[in-house]
Structure 1
Amino acid sequence: MSDLPPHDDADAPHHPRFQRLRKLRQHDLLSPLQWRRRVLFWTGAIVVGLSAVFFAKAADYAFELFHSVASHGWWVPLLITPPMFALLCWLTQGALKATRGSGIPQAIAALKVEDEDFRTRLLALRVALGKMALTLAALLGGASVGREGPTVHVGAGLLYSMGRRFGFDDPTAAGRFILAGSAAGLAAAFNTPLAGIVFAIEEMSGTFEHRMSGTLLTAVFVAGVVSLGVLGNYAYFGDISASLPLGRAWLAVLLTGIVGGLAGGLFARLIIPSTLGLRGVVGRLRARQPIAFAAACGLALVLLSLLSANGLYGTGYAQARDILQGHSDTGPLFGVLKFLGNIASSWAGIPGGIFSPALAVGAGLGGNIAHLLPGADTSAVVLLGMAAYLSGVTQAPLTATVISLELTANHMMALPIMAACLLARGASALVCRVPVYKALADALIVQYEAERARREPTPATEPGHAP
């Protein structure tokens, strides 16, 4: 039986339970500890926003420098890219091993495991700074990588380090700093605040804790305002006024969803160490001679770029924008070649993300599909291809939908994009059952647990134990 009086509503203002809850909320609002945490979140979000803006500018400059040097001859990248891949692989063999890859799996793994040693290994300040520096070096060497995933890693590392520095080292509190830093990093990297929130819910945590909602929203808002204030109110790919009316043109949704999903799932499967890509010969070569293997991956990227009109180097942002805006000379094989170039860069194990390169692959595939549908708006089909392929790679359809809408400032395509992303998510799961970021994060966790098990003494080896 309930302890409440008959016909008494516990949510009524006069009820004692309601009064107690109101006092607790007032105490929480006025608590110095809570205000110290809020100020730290706001300050951290500003730092993440400024770091993301600096990173974006530096990344553009690094790749422009590579492009200007490489323009002197087709042979120049042969002297730059393979040695840079080898150097980055060598640099990430030791203390900077956590800087490898996208950076999003590191943030997810640190969020899952409430172990200070594990989190510090992945998110220490030196790791965040190293991630930024080595990703810039990768772009300087022409690698087919992006900066958005690394920005998530940097954002998580900065807020986590700030939280620990000022006494918020409780595992639950530290997890909140990691989540907010990751979301703020993505929001500032793309200048897409809503995508940062959806990314945190769908990709990072999988849940949305009510107590965390205000903190997360505030961090994303502050980081977004910083990016907006410095870079201005812009859409990543410009204002794209594409549309897709109901009717036969919606065949594009079906085609881009299936093709983008299958291709994205294949890419994810090929870059997950425990699946097809790195299990056999490739895995053995990478394990035995990692530096030589990385150099070979760089060489493969250069050779593939020779088959493309504009090359496969860098984020692919310029090529994707040109395809989307309808004045591209990348050639019909750009999507497939960029797909292979992204695999070469991922297999090398160097720092760098897959968001922007994935959008470039999707744009290329969408352009190919548009040629099969002469009655449809080409820009609309390309946009669908970008969103669907990104959804296929990440298996995060909501994040892919929101990012695609915010990147182009186009809301007329909301329903077609959402449909294509959901279809791509299902098609991707047929090829790769586990989402790529989750699989890579789980691999980091398994590796850490194995190392910890080797360090800890077993009962048979403990002092005083009789064999």
Structure 2
Amino acid sequence: MPKDTVKQKERVIIHKIDTLQNRMPFVVIFIAGIIGMVTGFVGSLFQYAVSWVSHSRVELSLNLFSNHWVTYIWSFFIAALMGIFAYYLVQRFSPEASGSGIPEIEGALIDKRPVRWLHVLPVKFFGGLGALGSGMVLGREGPTVQMGANLGQLIAKLFKIDNKESKHTFLATGAAAGITTAFNAPLAGILFVIEEMREEFTYSLSSIKAIFIGVVGACIMYRVMISAAPIFNFSIYAAVPLSSLWLYFIFGSILGLIGAISNQGVLKLRDKLQSFYQLKSYYFLLVGGLLAGIFGLLSLYYPAITGGGFDIIPNVVDQLYGLWPLVAILAIRLIATILCFSSGAPGGIFSPTLALGAIVGVLFGLGLQSLFPYYQVELGACAIIGMAGLFAATIRAPLTGIVLIMEMTGNYLLILPLIITCLAATFIAQSLGQKPLYTAILDKLIHRDNG
């Protein structure tokens, strides 16, 4: 073959490679936009479905029978069946769908955990409906994140993307879109991947652009299907006096201690329950049915101590509970959060954590009003700061917590106490030797796989 012909063919091949490399970022961004839109649709549908199932169960239980004892038995039985259904799906088809699923995504980003979207997506969606719809103290945010990440892998498969870096980018894009959809908080979705998944996520200009586009797509879909308004319709509070900022370091320290205790409780109970489940396979279903039945029954008469927590937060901010009822709700919800999340149900911990933070915030605010009346402390502002602080202490992502709460409430003037509280909470939790919750869970999962 003549040399000129060979050189010409080499130039053609090089040109094709250069063209493909130039087009690849556009392909990645295009696919990321699709991932964001699909995640926004599925996450919004999941939110609608959880709300409908929860309200339908309560209405049916309250109106079906006139006899109170029959209502009690029926309520327990129906919720227990929903729990057994959710736990059975997890046990039979997708064990990685238990819990929030976020540690599974972090593990997948470092190729330590599988991404079996064909199993995870239906189990997380319908199992989540069963667990959350029963009244258990679980959040829909973790499941939305895991579904988003798995949708990223599904769509990559449909487009025949086999490149590992691109697949990881789509995994992270789906996770960011999931956070955005769950909270209507696009900036928090971006920061969650950057901050929480910083050790697992591979940064590049292309991957960051993909996450931005995915978040925009998810946010648009959420606002079309649900609402453009922030999750909470709170008052806009004035900036706190500069002379009172020192108090929020104390507040953050308290939240850091609570976060460390909560995380330690979750990890220890998870270990004990895993050992218990290994004795008999049906013990997993038994625990799920028992927990779902109890919280399903309680949700009829004491809704403040059941459910994810988004319904109770406005009531806490509006000061609809007295001091001691609020203390009781805090204690019960803290125990319930640890129990439900540790049990292996397909549900998350974000919204229960935010609810606990709001309660602690109001209690702290009541104390400040008694001790420092001249600071004119507003309880609603303390609740908002408490939500961010406990999120930061538990998840160990202070920047995400700050931005998330500002996007959810629109209270940007509270930025200084938010920063101080979140940093103090993170510092105290870290000083007590506690790893971030998801990191600790992932470490245990990898150790179990290698053991």
**TM-score category (smaller protein):** 0.7 to 0.9
Residues 22-33 of structure 1: pairs in structure 2 closer than 5 A: 31-33=22-24
Deviation at 1:316, TM superposition (A): 1.1
Deviation at 1:87, TM superposition (A): 3.5
Which of 197, 205, 212 is matched with 2:190 structurally?
A: 197
Deviation at 1:245, TM superposition (A): 2.0
Which of 80, 91, 94 is matched with 1:93 structurally?
A: 91
What is the aligned partner in structure 2 of residue 277 from structure 1?
269
What is the aligned partner in structure 1 of residue 278 from structure 2?
287
Which whole-Å CA distance do the structure 1 matches of 2:346 and 2:274 have between them? Answer: 18
Higher-RCO chain (CA-CA 8 Å, sequence separation at least 6): 2
Is residue 2:187 matched to residue 1:211?
no
Which whole-Å CA distance do the structure 2 matches of 1:418 and 1:391 have between them? Answer: 10
Higher fraction of helix: 2
Q: Name the SS of the counterpart of 2:348 in structure 1.
A: coil
Which whole-Å CA distance do the structure 2 matches of 1:247 and 1:70 have between them? Answer: 51
Which whole-Å CA distance do the structure 2 matches of 1:352 and 1:323 have between them? Answer: 23
Q: Which runs of 5+ in 1 are unaligned?
A: 1-22, 451-467
Which whole-Å CA distance do the structure 2 matches of 1:46 and 1:384 have between them? Answer: 31
Residues 58-207 of structure 1: pairs in structure 2 closer than 5 A: 58-71=49-62, 75=72, 77-113=75-111, 118-121=113-116, 124-206=117-199
Which of 349, 352, 359 is matched with 1:354 structurally?
A: 349
Residues 370-409 of structure 1: pairs in structure 2 closer than 5 A: 370-374=365-369, 375=373, 376-409=377-410
Which whole-Å CA distance do the structure 2 matches of 1:138 and 1:28 have between them? Answer: 49
Q: Name the SS of the counterpart of 1:185 in structure 2.
A: helix
- Residue 249 to residue 299, structure 1, CA distance change in 2 (3 Å): farther
CA contact (8 A) 2:132 2:140 kept: no
- Residue 311 to residue 107, structure 1, CA distance change in 2 (3 Å): same
Q: Which runs of 5+ in 2 are unaligned?
A: 1-13
State the Cα deviation string for residues 186-235 of structure 1 (Å, max 9, x = none).
Answer: 11221101000100100123464333221211111121122223323211
What is the aligned partner in structure 2 of residue 321 from structure 1?
314
Q: Structure 2-normalised TM-score?
A: 0.84
State the Cα deviation string for residues 376-430 of structure 1 (Å, max 9, x = none).
Answer: 1111111111111111111111111111111101100111111111111122224
Which whole-Å CA distance do the structure 2 matches of 1:78 and 1:224 have between them? Answer: 37
Q: Name the SS of the counterpart of 1:294 in structure 2.
A: helix
Query: Which range moved further: 83-92 or 97-106?
Result: 83-92
Could you tell me which amino acid in structure 2 is paired with residue 277 of structure 1?
A: L
Aligned-pair Cα RMSD in Å: 2.7
Q: Name the SS of the counterpart of 2:339 in structure 1.
A: helix
Which whole-Å CA distance do the structure 2 matches of 1:133 and 1:303 have between them? Answer: 21
Could you tell me which amino acid in structure 1 is paired with residue 191 of structure 2?
A: V
What is the aligned partner in structure 1 of residue 4 from structure 2?
none
Q: Name the SS of the counterpart of 1:364 in structure 2.
A: helix
Which whole-Å CA distance do the structure 1 matches of 2:293 and 2:429 have between them? Answer: 29
How many residues align structurally? 417
Which whole-Å CA distance do the structure 1 matches of 2:327 and 2:448 have between them? Answer: 41
CA contact (8 A) 2:94 2:120 kept: yes
Is residue 2:47 matched to residue 1:56?
yes
Q: Name the SS of the counterpart of 1:113 in structure 2.
A: coil
Which whole-Å CA distance do the structure 2 matches of 1:191 and 1:261 have between them? Answer: 26
Residues 254-269 of structure 1: pairs in structure 2 closer than 5 A: 254-269=249-264
Could you tell me which amino acid in structure 1 is paired with residue 31 of structure 2?
A: L
Deviation at 1:297, TM superposition (A): 3.6
- Residue 214 to residue 119, structure 1, CA distance change in 2 (3 Å): same
Which whole-Å CA distance do the structure 2 matches of 1:385 and 1:223 have between them? Answer: 27
Identity of aligned residues (%): 25
Q: Name the SS of the counterpart of 2:92 in structure 1.
A: coil
Which of 234, 238, 245 is matched with 2:229 structurally?
A: 234
Residues 413-432 of structure 1: pairs in structure 2 closer than 5 A: 413-431=414-432
Could you tell me which amino acid in structure 2 is paired with residue 321 of structure 1?
A: P
Could you tell me which amino acid in structure 2 is paired with residue 127 of structure 1?
A: V
- Residue 248 to residue 70, structure 1, CA distance change in 2 (3 Å): farther
Q: Structure 1-normalised TM-score?
A: 0.82
- Residue 325 to residue 371, structure 1, CA distance change in 2 (3 Å): same
Deviation at 1:37, TM superposition (A): 3.0
Query: Which range moved further: 313-322 or 73-82?
Result: 73-82
Could you tell me which amino acid in structure 1 is paired with residue 335 of structure 2?
A: L
Query: Which range moved further: 30-39 or 197-206?
Result: 30-39
State the Cα deviation string for residues 337-383 of structure 1 (Å, max 9, x = none).
Answer: 11111112112211001111111111111121121111311111111
Deviation at 1:156, TM superposition (A): 0.3
Deviation at 1:302, TM superposition (A): 6.3
